[in-house]
Copies of this chain bind each other. A is one copy, B any other.
Amino acid sequence: MSALRASGAAGPALARTARAALTTRHFATALYKPKNQEPAAPVVKTSIPGPKAAKAIKELDRVFETRSINMMIDYPQSAGNYIADPDGNVLLDVYAQIASIPVGYNNLRLRRVARSPEMINALVNRPALGNFPSTTWANLLKTGVLKVAPKGLNNVYTAMAGSDANEIAYKAAFMYKRQQERGGPDVDFTPHEMESAMNNQAPGAAQLSILSFKSSFHGRLFGCLSTTRSKPIHKLDIPAFDWPQATFPQLKYPLDQHAEENAKAEQASLDEVEHLIKTWHLPPAAVVVEPIQSEGGDNHASPAFFQKLRALTLKHNILLIVDEVQTGVGATGKFWAHEHWNLQDPPDMVTFSKKAQAAGYYYRSKDLRPNKPYRQFNTWMGDPSKALLFRAIINEIERLDLVNQTAKVGDYLFGKLEGLAAKYPEHFQNLRGKGQGTFIAFDNPRRDEFLVKAKEFGVNIGGSGASAVRLRPMLTFQEHHADILIGALEEVVKAL
């Protein structure tokens, strides 16, 4: 147990300054200042959950699911890269609400936008965007969501979260594919199609599929869950469509020592994709892929793999949907992770959510809009209050040059992790994410213990897949945060 944890055991009688004196090098000068100012280092006063958190969890359990709780949080006391709990623990947060906080807790620029007249208007007058958009909606899109549109994708369809963003992208793909099969946008539906659609039968209900990859994660609604192949616990007992899955390349690390076999694994995956496209009994309308499989274990593939995947989809006239829900908005050192691929032909659709706070899909051109109104429609179709937040996030990213900073800090962090991996090879296996900003992961054989232990040393970290420790700092994560993280990680493996 660390000095810090012991300091908690010393109880409330221990004065603040005395407690600070007990801290290790990495946790020095840890007197926490709220009001949007980060502490200089984590503060760990109790085990987590501490007594106040435990009481709060018990209270919440009467009315809400609590078995998946990681920490109970005091948000007003959280600041920047640091997350606070009700027992006075303040951790460096490199999990960031499952990779969804972009520019720090209680970011002052976001707070300013949150209390702006535009936000108040958006909150109390939430529009049905498809029927009654505001005169300001086009401008809000252009100065926000669309200002950062991936190259070649200048249209957007907004949504609520990553899951429904993927589902409506799939719907667009099915409608597009069927329209092609039917002979174009001007060919009307047949009475038989209309009647059978009402009975959930072909030909009105398309006998098509979305092709995804093993160990992928695309959300947990019925359509996107049929493409999610992360873990049984995500899928058990839920009806699913009989859609195809291809093996995702299982790269070996370090990459430079396994170049040949990794290239073979990627080619084998591409061959499987092509075979499935040609033979699956429900032909794919689209392939959906994450730039980095972010829930399924931080699985990477090379730009060449994605370039060839793009070529395959074009060759077989099916769409490519890139799911950037977790990889998007800067964390890989590019605004969109697929920028790393240098594609000649952009993807047909790119889905986003999480750090954007808003959600939806960007798409290539108007020909991907369904041929009639009300085919892609719902009551709210997004949320202007979240679009306002996304604009504020974009402005903050630009003001502080956070994408470039994340690229640089990521390189720094990766270098430090390589040092740890050399020193503790059994604890830092398959270190990956080089050149991918702070989107870094490694495997640890005792991963779950590792994550619990990390809290004792002042860091909140998440896992992915079976054994990966996934780092998902915010874009405001800097070199001095990386130093604190590295120090804590070393303490963790020493204590494991």
Residues of B within 8 A of A56 (CB): 135, 138
A60-B137, A65-B373, A138-B63 given; A197·B235 CB < 8 A: yes
Are A78 and B137 touching (Cβ within 8 A)?
no
Are A64 and B232 touching (Cβ within 8 A)?
no
Contact of A233 among B219, B233, B241, B375 (CB under 8 A): B375
Is the CB of A73 closer than 8 A to any CB of chain B? yes
Is the CB of A256 closer than 8 A to any CB of chain B? no
Q: So how many copies of this chain end up in the complex?
A: 2
A163-B164, A243-B200 given; A98·B235 CB < 8 A: no
Is the CB of A75 closer than 8 A to any CB of chain B? yes
Contact of A131 among B70, B86, B127, B198 (CB under 8 A): B70
Which residues 189-205 of A have a CB within 8 angstroms of B?
189, 193-195, 197-201, 204-205
Residue-wise interface mask of A (180-219) relative to B, using a CB-CB cutoff of 8 A (1 in contact, 0 not) = 0000000001000111011111001111110000000001
Which residues 97-156 of A have a CB within 8 angstroms of B?
97-98, 100-101, 105-107, 110-111, 114-115, 117, 119-121, 123-135, 137-138, 141-142, 146, 154-156
Is the CB of A167 closer than 8 A to any CB of chain B? yes
Are A193 and B124 touching (Cβ within 8 A)?
no
Are A83 and B132 touching (Cβ within 8 A)?
yes
A69-B133, A133-B60 given; A239·B237 CB < 8 A: no
Residue-wise interface mask of A (32-72) relative to B, using a CB-CB cutoff of 8 A (1 in contact, 0 not) = 00000000000000000000110010011011111111111
Chain A interface residue count, Cβ-Cβ cutoff 8 angstroms: 126
Is the CB of A226 closer than 8 A to any CB of chain B? yes
Are A68 and B373 touching (Cβ within 8 A)?
yes
Are B132 and A205 touching (Cβ within 8 A)?
no
Are B106 and A124 touching (Cβ within 8 A)?
yes
Which residues 62-96 of A have a CB within 8 angstroms of B?
62-76, 78, 83, 86
Contact of A234 among B164, B221, B374 (CB under 8 A): B374
A233-B372, A385-B123 given; A221·B167 CB < 8 A: yes
Is the CB of A257 closer than 8 A to any CB of chain B? no
Name the segment of A170-178, A262-270, A271-279, A481-489 touching the other chain. Answer: A170-178
Are A86 and B378 touching (Cβ within 8 A)?
no
Q: How far is the CB of A76 from chain B (nearest CB, A)?
A: 6
Of chain B, the residue at the smallest CB distance from A154 is: B63
Are B98 and A379 touching (Cβ within 8 A)?
yes
Are A138 and B234 touching (Cβ within 8 A)?
no
Q: A-B pairs with the 8 shortest C-beta distances?
A: A222-B223, A67-B373, A200-B240, A194-B232, A160-B160, A178-B237, A60-B138, A205-B240
User: In the complex, given contacts A69-B133, A114-B123, A193-B236, what are 20 additional A-B residue pairs having Cβ atoms less than 8 angstroms apart?
Assistant: A56-B135, A59-B138, A63-B138, A63-B146, A64-B133, A64-B141, A105-B125, A106-B124, A160-B161, A161-B379, A170-B222, A179-B237, A193-B232, A197-B235, A201-B242, A204-B236, A204-B237, A209-B239, A221-B222, A222-B241
